[in-house]
């Protein structure tokens, strides 16, 4: 046996020696410096965004220590239409609508769009709110699939229900825009729970700056929390590593990813789960694109491009308050489907708008955020995977030293841990949603552990989404299948057993 291993080692040394003599090996080994530089620049950019976000959140908290507005001035808040598209959401649709009804806001309406659900979504809405068919005029400013009817609630005049043929989330949102009455609209996912002051806070930028055309808010992980009668009753941490890792991701993405770009008016995405828009600006660009799976980001990018082309002063901003809570996937298959769709949606949003990049009048948007999203977010998964594969292969072949490999892993993984921990600390220093020592320890463990396997796995899924976009001729623009367990609902509301719902990715 010893002779076998000795022979194998000798053969491997001969192979390595032979490879070292080949001219292309020197070119391949030079890639180590490219990958090392790529990860350094990527993480330094994230750290810079983290720094900007920290100052932004500190300033926001100083300005918002008191209540939002004096009671006498609350009546001057503009009316808002809340559009809630739903497909097979029988499990959570009633809780979501009740959450919206509990909003502390002077004037708003709720338009639920049932996008051809095959479950009991329509029936649950009709039964819960006593809705009846109403012959309301439907002005079709945006083209959508057929609308079967409009329902209203005699007891709750704020609610209307639009029943239509299935056409995807973007189509459902456009149908909602055709029905709404107010100048501002808020797009909300059907599996989300809002806080009572959410709408007041996300509308505030429209009052402070007349140039504001869109504003997004923070989305938090609902798993592990409890909601009663549509209101968040108790904040908790999710059970299991998978939703826990996603909680850390959401902290990174919202608290310093989007908050970092907002002061520069270079924000390229407002989450489809919760955002407010000026209706006529959205109508002017044709509403939501129906031929993309990333309708939320695509809308924001097209708003930027259209307004800059018209040379209009405008602001697209972000509010860092924890206002919207959403349930995240708890199984690998659902999470994979979500991340593949996100990456494809990113590609479909950026590629048609490449004219924004390095445009003369694009400002920070065209010279900083758009190149960042294109290089590090769109094509980043392929570069990162290639970096891991090439560096490990070069080390196995003896073409790079162990020290170089360890430096690469320290940059790729070590700085990733630093970013995750920073996001956790930023949350605790600002909003302190998880005050217990046991919760702090769990968050810290997730922030470290997610960098060993989980982030690499999501990178693989993102690469799959990118490759599918690059080489697939077939495009599916329907709702993604995401399994929800509804465990956040109070026992009396969640007692009924329903099949897994399908909803769009955040």
CATH number of domain containing 213: 3.90.550.10
Residue 340: which pLDDT band, with cuts at 50, 70 and 90?
A: very high
pTM comes to 0.87
* Residues linked to residue 316 through DSSP beta bridges, in sequence order: 214
pLDDT at 499 over 50: no
Q: DSSP characters for 314-327?
A: -EEEEEEEEEEEEP
DSSP state for residue 335 in the 8-state scheme: H
Phi, psi of 266 (to 5 degrees): -125, 20
Dist. CA 181–CA 111, nearest whole Å: 10
Q: Would 23 be classed as within a structural domain?
A: no
Q: Would 12 be classed as within a structural domain?
A: no
Q: Would 69 be classed as within a structural domain?
A: no
pLDDT at 70 over 60: no
pLDDT at 501 over 70: no
Q: Would 505 be classed as within a structural domain?
A: no
Q: Would 259 be classed as within a structural domain?
A: yes
pLDDT at 491 over 80: no
Chain centre distance of CA 336: 14
Structure token digits, residue 425? 């600390």
Q: Would 123 be classed as within a structural domain?
A: yes
pLDDT at 349 over 80: yes
Range of lowest pLDDT (62-71, 129-138, 443-452): 62-71
- Give the residue among 295, 274, 275 at the shortest CA–CA distance from 286: 295
pLDDT at 288 over 50: yes
* Cβ-contact 60, 320 below 8 angstroms: yes
For residue 442, give its domain range: 33-64+80-494
Tally of structural domains, the chain: 1
Tens of pLDDT, residues 11-25: 555 555 555 555 555
Q: Would 343 be classed as within a structural domain?
A: yes
Q: Would 142 be classed as within a structural domain?
A: yes
- Give the residue among 425, 426, 420, 422 at the shortest CA–CA distance from 449: 420
Q: So what's the pLDDT on residue 477?
A: 54
Dist. CA 193–CA 120, nearest whole Å: 20
Q: So what's the pLDDT on residue 71?
A: 57
* Cβ-contact 466, 342 below 8 angstroms: no
Place of tokens 């959410």: 198
CA angle, 429 then 257 then 467, to 5°:
145
């Amino acid at each position: 046996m010893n002779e076998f291993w000795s022979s194998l080692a000798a053969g491997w040394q001969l192979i390595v020696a032979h490879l070292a003599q080949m001219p292309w090996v020197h070119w391949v080994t030079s890639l180590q410096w490219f990958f090392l530089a790529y990860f350094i620049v990527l993480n330094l950019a994230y750290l810079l965004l983290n720094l900007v976000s920290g100052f932004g959140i500190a300033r926001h908290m100083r300005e918002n220590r008191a209540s939002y507005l004096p009671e006498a001035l609350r009546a001057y808040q503009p009316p808002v239409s809340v559009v809630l598209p739903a497909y097979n959401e029988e499990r959570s649709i009633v809780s979501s609508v009740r959450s919206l009804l509990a909003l502390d806001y002077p004037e708003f309406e709720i338009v639920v769009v049932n996008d051809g659900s095959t479950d009991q979504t329509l029936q649950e809405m009709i039964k819960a709110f006593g809705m009846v068919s109403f012959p309301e005029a439907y002005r079709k400013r945006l083209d959508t699939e057929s609308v079967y009817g409009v329902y209203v609630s005699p007891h709750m005049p704020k609610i209307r229900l639009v029943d239509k043929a299935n056409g995807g989330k973007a189509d459902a949102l456009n149908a909602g825009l055709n029905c709404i009455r107010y100048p501002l609209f808020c797009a909300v996912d059907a599996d989300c729970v809002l806080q009572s002051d959410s709408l007041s806070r996300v509308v505030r930028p429209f009052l402070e700056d007349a140039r504001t055309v869109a504003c997004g808010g923070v989305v938090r992980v609902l798993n592990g929390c409890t909601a009663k009668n549509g209101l968040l009753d108790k904040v908790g941490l999710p059970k299991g590593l998978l939703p826990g890792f996603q909680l850390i991701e959401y902290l990174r993405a919202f608290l310093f990813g989007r908050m970092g770009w907002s002061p520069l008016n270079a924000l390229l995405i407002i989450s489809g789960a919760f955002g407010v828009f000026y209706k006529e600006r959205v109508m002017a660009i044709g509403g939501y694109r129906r031929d993309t799976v990333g309708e939320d980001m695509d809308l924001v990018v097209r708003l930027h491009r259209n307004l800059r082309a018209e040379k209009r002063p405008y602001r697209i901003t972000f509010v860092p308050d924890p206002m919207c809570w959403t349930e995240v996937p708890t199984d690998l298959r659902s999470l994979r489907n979500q991340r593949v769709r996100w990456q494809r949606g990113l590609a479909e949003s950026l590629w048609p708008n490449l004219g924004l990049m390095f445009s003369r009048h694009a400002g920070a948007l065209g010279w900083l955020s758009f190149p960042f999203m294109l290089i590090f977010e769109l094509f980043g998964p392929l570069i990162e995977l290639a970096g891991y594969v090439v560096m490990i292969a070069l080390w196995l072949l003896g073409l790079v030293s162990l020290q170089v490999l360890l430096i690469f892993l320290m940059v790729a993984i070590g700085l990733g841990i630093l970013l995750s921990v920073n996001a956790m600390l930023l949350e605790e220093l600002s909003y302190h949603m998880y005050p217990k020592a046991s919760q702090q320890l769990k968050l810290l463990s997730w922030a470290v552990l997610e960098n060993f396997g989980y982030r690499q796995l999501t990178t693989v899924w993102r690469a799959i989404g990118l490759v599918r976009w690059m080489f697939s001729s077939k495009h599916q623009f329907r709702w993604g299948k995401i399994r929800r367990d509804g465990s956040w609902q109070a026992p009396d509301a969640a007692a009924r057993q329903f099949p897994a719902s399908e909803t769009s990715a955040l």
